[in-house]
Structure 1
Amino acid sequence: MPSKKPRCKDCPPDSRRPAPNPGPRCATHHREEKKRRRGAKAENQVQTRFGLAPGDYDKLYRLQGGACAICTRGKGISKRLAVDHDHTCCAGPTSCGKCVRGLVCGRCNSLLAHARDELAFFDRAAAYLINPPARRLRGEAT
């Protein structure tokens, strides 16, 4: 007696894989379709919000060696790297695209947000790391 379960619409016609997921698709094709849709949504959002041309995110990612432009530790594997842009350039929720600087991980993006694009912040941070106040207190200043 033939099975009444729906068959995966992406599998070959002679396949017997059931399609319990919406679509209807088998588990493998359902995961692939979800991944494809997530990627398309992210690409569309980058184009709309940051004014990048189609494929520019991936080009920028490859140009940076597949890592965060600042720390180089974040690879964007579990969470895509954030598009960093100059907030002083464009008013409003979208960017012109010319003020995009690169791709950064969540930690570095947070650091940049706290610094509010002030280079003096990073100068002070470097000076702090080179000669911390506690060294001066102990008379070990360099």
Structure 2
Amino acid sequence: MAAARRCKDCPPGARRPAPHPGPRCATHHRAENRRRREAAHERSAQRTYGLGPGEYARLYAVQGGRCAICRRATGATRRLSIDHNHRDGAVRGLLCRPCNSMLGHARDSVLFFSRAMAYLGDPPARQLKEGGDG
């Protein structure tokens, strides 16, 4: 009968089985997957947006760990997106998916957002109620 494999990351003498590649126990397998995922994201951010090593994490800290627009999303479930200016490629900040999509839909137009603010302040339906055209 073959000897049970032991986790290569556990301290010597630990008796945890290592069913995962490496060989690793379940705890160290999850930790290694997390490390690899974060390293891949770091490389992607550097290659795609020109961020330096650790700049995503520093930007996240500068923003208080929240979406720069809505201030609700923390990136705990889905990592915050790197928002950038499409004209010059300059990184502006980190946004949640809905806020990033909203900016993309608006095509970075300040005029779009001024119209949206006017709409929220004085919606057309309010004119129906005040006008009394009935």
Same fold (TM over 0.5): yes
Query: Which residue matches 2:114?
Result: 123
Is residue 2:7 matched to residue 1:4? no
Structure with more relative contact order (C-alpha pairs < 8 Å, separation 6 or more): 1
Is residue 2:98 matched to residue 1:110? no
Q: CA deviation at 1:3?
A: 6.3
Query: Which residue matches 1:26?
Result: 25
Specify the code of the residue in structure 2 equivalent to 1:18: P
What's the TM-score, normalizing by structure 2?
Answer: 0.94
What's the TM-score, normalizing by structure 1?
Answer: 0.89
Please list, as runs of the form range in 1=range in 2, the aligned pairs for 1:23-62 lying within 5 A after superposition: 23-62=22-61
Specify the code of the residue in structure 2 equivalent to 1:125: A
Q: CA deviation at 1:78?
A: 1.3
Q: CA deviation at 1:13?
A: 1.6
> Structure 1: which 5+ residue stretches go unaligned?
90-94
* Counterparts of 2:97 and 2:62, CA distance in 1: 19
Measured against aligned partners, the alpha-carbon deviations of 1:78-127 in whole angstroms (never above 9, x if no partner) come to 111000000122xxxxx4xxx10000001100111100111111001100
Specify the code of the residue in structure 1 equivalent to 2:124: P
Counterpart secondary structure, 1:84:
strand
Q: How many residues align?
A: 131
Structure 1 outlier segments of 4+, above 6 Å: none
Specify the code of the residue in structure 2 equivalent to 1:69: A
Q: Percent identity over the alignment?
A: 57
Tell me the C-alpha RMSD between the 2 structures: 1.3
Is residue 2:126 matched to residue 1:135? yes
Q: In proportion to residue count, which structure has more helix?
A: 2
